[in-house]
Structure 1
């Protein structure tokens, strides 16, 4: 098997309420893909104008102790966040403030030419990271 052309198809995000989650991700530019809405399996595909796809898996139960992978003392294995690239971290920070979306960490400049603002959380406390790719030093 050759994995040279491996690409990401979508990110699955478990949520408790489809309407609430869909409204949140719509603020980020995602819209429902009617061909990827499967009520029988409680999955709803959303697509962004860039072609990025997420699937909202709406079978979650709210946890009183926060995000089960990140907010509890015992750190269990699992996917902890999705990371996205934006053109301008400053514009993102301003937009988040206007939208009353709290930044849970950052912005900070990281190694490897990335400036991370995120992390933010969706209504179900799923973590989203945003990166601005910085120009290499000359």
Structure 2
């Protein structure tokens, strides 16, 4: 098997309330894909104009508090977050403030100066990471 053409098809995100989650992700530009709506499976596909897809799996039970993978003292295996690339961290932060979406961490430079990172949570406290890819040469030169 040759994986040279391996690409990401979608990210599955478990949620408790489809309408609430769909409204939140619509604010990020995602819209329902009728071909990916499967009520029997309690799954709803959303598509972004860039082609990025997420599947909302709406069979979650509300956690007492926080995200069971990240916020609980015991660390169970599982996906902890989805990470997206953006053009401008300043624009994202301004938009998050206007939309009254709290920032859970950041912005901060990570990856040895490769990216400026900001984290938010969806209504079910699933973690979303946004990355502005930095020019390493400019970053190391203090530009």
The aligned residue for residue 135 of structure 1 is 135
The aligned residue for residue 43 of structure 1 is 43
The aligned residue for residue 81 of structure 1 is 81
Cα distance in 1 for partners of 2:54, 2:15 equals: 12
- The TM-score, its normalising length taken from structure 2, stands at 0.93
Structure 1: gaps (5+ residues)? none
The aligned residue for residue 141 of structure 2 is none
Cα distance in 2 for partners of 1:45, 1:65 equals: 26
The aligned residue for residue 55 of structure 1 is 55
The aligned residue for residue 108 of structure 1 is 108
Q: Secondary structure at the match of 1:104?
A: strand
- The TM-score, its normalising length taken from structure 1, stands at 0.97
CA RMSD of aligned residues (A): 0.9
- TM-superposed CA distance for 1:113, in Å, is 1.3
CA contact (8 A) 2:36 2:45 kept: yes
Structure 2: gaps (5+ residues)? 139-143
Aligned residue pairs total: 137
